[in-house]
Amino acid sequence: MAAAGVPPARRPAPGAAGARNPRAPWHNERMDEFVHPLTGRYASHSMRRLFSPVVRFGLWRRLWLELMRAERDLGVAIPPEALRQLEAHLDPTEAEIARAGEIERETRHDVMAHIRALAESAPAAGPFLHLGATSCYVTDNADIVVLSQAIELLVGRAAGVVAALADFARTHHDVPCLGHTHFQPAQPTTVGKRACLWLADLLGDLERLEAERARLLLRGAKGTTGTQASFLQLLGDGSKVRELDRRIAAAFGFPGSFPITGQTSPRKPEFYLLACLSGIGQSAHKFASDVRLLARLKELDEPFGEGQVGSSAMPYKRNPMRCERITALARVLISLEPNAAWTAASQWLERTLDDSANRRLVLPEAFLTADAILLLWRSVAAGLEVHPAMVRRNLEEELPFMATEEILLAAAARGGDRQELHERLRVLSRNAARRVKEGGERNPLLELVAADPAFRLDAGRLTELLDGRRFVGRAPEQVSEFLAETVEPWLASHEALEGDEEPQV
């Protein structure tokens, strides 16, 4: 992004006005007003800042500056002092933002309030601010810049998730485990192969998100109904109007602006973006749900802090609270996609204002929620604990049933009648299942088969048939191929965020 992009963060000295509270970031300085959980507890400082007033209003000022520069270069008589004063006031102070708030209470118009407040600080620039523009020139263009930067932040954060899951899959690529369909025992797979299911989903989401980001264009300078009539009057030449649009887009690092708009930027791209974020929510929900199920089977646990408390009543509890929070946040994120669809559907002719308050809520909430999910997801994926003994025990309890075809073939090879053996196995399997369910026994099928002379198989031969690695097919090879051919090339071109933030609660 060019220098005209998101305003740089200011870092006040410790103890200075505006310095970040050294206490936990979810601490509420004022306990008598609502604090949004996304900003108070869950989302990162980086994402919160992107959607902050100081960034938003700083972008408005940069948009006015680029408009003035382009208009001057294309023939509008704008004095150098106007540009110098505006350049000196690109980052709004708290006092200037407060002053704009006072003016807005009178005008009930946020953009006009900021124009007047800025004109008080940069009086030489005042007469030339917003020349030919409508409110959406600053509001919608600034939103697009922020969304583009937010996507970049999410992809960098997601790269950390991908790297953690890839490491997990590589480590456990050939560890046999019981598969589940309908959450009932099914053909074995490997612990690493299951992780690749999570990886494949997330990579698909990120591929679509990056494709939508690549298609993002700036709204540009389009005027009140998208016809550019005001700029044509100002510049007197259609080619200059097109050049004005091009220059503004280039100043903010975009390849161009939308060729056709009404007063606002098109709302469909926002729906497409939220559909991608919904996909991330869906993938995160499946991952977290799988971990919760496997935790109940005692095969897998999310990380658990040394002093972490699982329950206020039951001291022994180790609840998968991070994964539970992921699923909770994912439900919110998924639910925001149809909201964006209704915003796109509800546009009237060239513009309607009933999307404004909605977008102020939905766009930040969607990106802050996705950010919070990815923070949690990375922390869980990087600290997943596998319990090999329980993985092996759960597999061995069901493996005799999985091995019935192997037993059938081995017994037939020793001269048994295949059809008679099949019927005997069916009866013995049902008997074994009944004893497991009704008597709480360990699976007795192997003992029953070994005791039946029709099979001519002793316990040693049966044990050989029950090596879990015989039943996982190409799962280990699939993991290695997927990591080498898909995941590692993606990671090579996507750097995870350095010093990434950790969930605080």
Alpha carbon distance 278, 272 (integer Å): 10
Can you give the residue range of the structural domain that contains 59?
49-128
Shared-domain flag, residues 500 and 445: no
Assigned domain for 254 exists: no
pLDDT above 80 (res 424)? yes
Which of 39-43, 253-257, 457-461 has the least mean pLDDT?
A: 457-461
CATH number at 457 reads 1.10.40.30
Distances (CA, A) of 436 to 306, 430, 431, 440, 443: 37, 10, 9, 5, 6
Q: Are 290 and 319 in contact (CB under 8 A)?
A: no
pLDDT higher than 90, residue 326: yes
d(CA 493, CA 488): 9
User: 455 lies in a domain?
Assistant: yes
Q: Which of 109, 311, 335, 346 is catalytic?
A: 311
Q: What pLDDT shows up at residue 212?
A: 96
Supply the angle between the helices 404-413 and 388-402 in degrees, to the nearest 10: 50
Query: Does pLDDT of 72 surpass 80?
Result: yes
Q: Is 311 a catalytic residue?
A: yes
CA distance 65 to 76: 14
497 or 178: whose pLDDT is higher? 178
Q: Is residue 20 part of a domain?
A: no
Residue 451 lies in a domain: yes
User: Are 455 and 322 within one domain?
Assistant: no
Q: What share of the chain is helix, strand, coil (3-state, %, to 5)?
A: 65, 5, 35
**Any idea what the Cα angle at residue 202 is, between residues 302 and 305, rounded to 5°?**
15
| Number of Cα atoms under 13 Å in the Cβ half of residue 406 | 17
Classify residue 96: in a domain, yes or no.
yes
Model confidence at 22, in pLDDT bands (50, 70, 90)? very low
Same domain (yes/no): 438, 299 = no
- Domain holding 53: CATH number? 1.10.275.10
Q: Are 190 and 288 in a shared domain? A: yes
CA separation, residue 416 to residues 320, 430, 453, 476 (Å): 50, 21, 10, 34
Instruction: Answer yes or no: 285 catalytic.
Output: no
> Taking residues 85-112, what's their average pLDDT?
95
| 79 & 121 share domain | yes
What pLDDT, in 10s, does the model give residues 367-380?
A: 999 999 999 999 99
Number of domains in the chain: 3
Whether 424 maps to a domain, the answer reads yes
Beta bridge mates, 300:
386
Q: Which of 66, 95, 128 is the last residue of a domain?
A: 128
Give, in degrees to the nearest 5, the angle at Cα 336 between 332 and 340.
175
Who contacts 418 (Cβ-Cβ below 8 Å, separation ≥6)? Answer: 408, 412
Answer yes or no: are the C-beta atoms of 127 and 154 closer than 8 Å: no
Average pLDDT over every residue of 134-155:
96
Please list, in sequence order, all residues whose beta carbon lies within 8 angstroms of the beta carbon of residue 260, skipping any fewer than 6 positions away.
226
Domain final residue, candidates 95, 128, 161: 128
63 close to 86: Cβ distance less than 8 angstroms: no
Q: What is the CATH number of the domain that holds 299?
A: 1.20.200.10
Confidence at 240, pLDDT banded by 50, 70, 90:
very high
423-440 average pLDDT score: 90
Same domain membership, residue 119 and residue 101: yes
Which pair of tokens denotes residue 398?
A: 């069901």
Structure-model confidence comparison of residues 24 and 133, the more confident one? 133
Q: Are residues 371 and 297 in the same domain?
A: yes
| pLDDT interval class at 9 (50, 70, 90) | low
Check residues 33 and 47 and name the one with the higher pLDDT. Answer: 47
Q: Of residues 182, 239, 312, 493, which has the active-site annotation?
A: 182
Question: What letter represents residue 271's amino acid?
Answer: F
Q: Does one domain contain both 448 and 497? A: no
Asked whether the beta carbons of 88 and 31 are under 8 A apart, the reply is: no
Phi, psi of 429 (to 5 degrees): -65, -45
How does pLDDT run across 258-315, given as a tens digit for each residue? Answer: 999 998 899 999 999 999 999 999 999 999 999 999 999 999 998 887 777 767 677 7
Mean pLDDT of the chain: 90
CB 250: neighbour CB atoms within 10 A? 17
pLDDT greater than 50 at residue 399: yes
What is 105-162 written as a DSSP string?
A: HHH--HHHHHHHHHHHHSTTTGGGTTTT--HHHHHHHHHHHHHHHHHHHHHHHHHHHH
Has residue 504 been placed in a domain?
yes
* Average of per-residue pLDDT across 137-161: 96
Distance between CA atoms of 284 and 332, rounded to whole angstroms? 12
Are 118 and 98 found together in one domain? yes
Same domain? For 502 and 476 the reply is yes
> What is the spatial distance between Cα 227 and Cα 460, in angstroms, rounded to a whole number?
84
In the chain, DSSP finds a helix count (H) and a strand count (E) of 20, 4
Q: Contact at 8 Å (CB) between 101 and 39?
A: no
Same domain membership, residue 61 and residue 176: no
Residue 226 lies in a domain: no
Indicate if 194 and 341 belong to the same structural domain. yes
Among 128, 150, 170, the domain boundary falls at 128
Containing 165, the helix (H) or strand (E) segment is: helix 135-171
- This prediction has a pTM of 0.89
Residue 16 has pLDDT above 60, yes or no: no
